[in-house]
Amino acid sequence: MKTLRLILTQSQAHYRRPETVDNCMTYPLPPFSTVIGAIHKACGYREYHPMDLSVQGDYGAMKQEMFRSMTVLNRVEMDRGTLVWMPENMLSNAHIKIGKAITRGADFRTRQNVRIYNVDEYHKWLALRSNLQQAAKETKSAEEELKAFRKEQEAAGKKRKDYRDSDQFLELRRVIKEAKQKKAALQAQMEQYHTVEYIPTYQEILFDVKLIIHLQADDVLLQDIYTHRYDIQAIGRSEDFINLESADFIELDQTDKSTVGQHHAYIKDIDDFKFEDGRPLMGTRYLLPKNYTIIDGKRNFKDVGAMWVSNYKIKKFSDSIWHDPDGYIVNFV
């Protein structure tokens, strides 16, 4: 069977496990969706092109590194974090630092135990906050006055249709409308202020990574991937650059069961493999994303169960299990 084999290396890589937060753990090999995404980006595909793949390889070392994670809250905390102003509808986290809480008991309202970086913006925030509170009071006062007017009219035996065109009722409605508009405008400005928390986070990094990727698809798609092979820039994070060692079309066979897997690999068909000494295959199980469909504007991934193993042999061939003439065992997913 014809397939395209990519052999590449990375000086470092991180394949994020989505269930980890404070300690961002990595998969030992890139998930199928990560490889497929890198290929689609290289080829300029905007829609999913069906393909099956086999992923195997190794890494030389793993290290845990610390970095600072920035969390933007959708509100302002008065006693913690860093007070910032963000331009409206920004696509980035660009912001202006206004002040920072430096000790416990801090209060941005009174400037107690806070360090102010931008005095002008700080006074703008205080004035805006005061105006917003005043607008809220005016709105509440006008609504209470209208409520009292309605009760007075009802006590006099009048229905709403009897007083809805009166000057006093219309004036109260106008005052409430203007007060709400003023409050909404001020609230929109206040929503540009946020509290930012800088949190130390740990991330696992793999070093000296080698990957062997076999791709199975129709001939036209494989040829297009081969044409764009040097456009594959990174697998994992955007900074996890790759060095493409080789890209070759090869013919897989189903003749040799004696080959022992040279590298760690993701194996889907566990029952069709065994260890070198004949024992049933065991390893670390993962539920790995492969491709997705868009449902209600969100990506809904199709996950595939696979086991991360090494020193394995083929027990029996199938439509998804093949032998590479250079000694690699291929299990397409």
Among 197, 223, 244, give the residue marking a domain's end. Answer: 197
**186, 246: one domain:** no
91 pLDDT exceeds 60? Answer: no
| pLDDT over 80 at 160, yes or no | no
- Structural domain of residue 99, as residue ranges? 70-197
**Which of residues 175 and 161 earns the better pLDDT score?**
175
Report the share of the chain in percent with pLDDT over 70.
Answer: 98
Domain boundary among 171, 197, 223: 197
**Quick one: 160 and 15 in the same domain?**
no
- Asked if 288 and 140 sit in the same domain, the reply is no
**92 has pLDDT over 70:** no
Query: If you average pLDDT over residues 4-21, what whole number do you get?
Result: 94
Residue 249 CB neighbours (<10 A): 12
213 & 323 share domain: yes
Q: 250: domain CATH number?
A: 3.30.70.2660
Average pLDDT on 258-283 reads: 88
Q: Are 243 and 230 in contact (CB under 8 A)?
A: no
At which of 146, 168, 197 does a domain end? 197
DSSP string over 292-333:
EEEETTEEEEEEEEEEEE-SEEESS-BTTEEE-TTS-EEE--
**What pLDDT sits at residue 21?**
78
Same domain, 167 and 178: yes
3-state secondary structure of 180: helix
The number of distinct structural domains making up the chain is 2
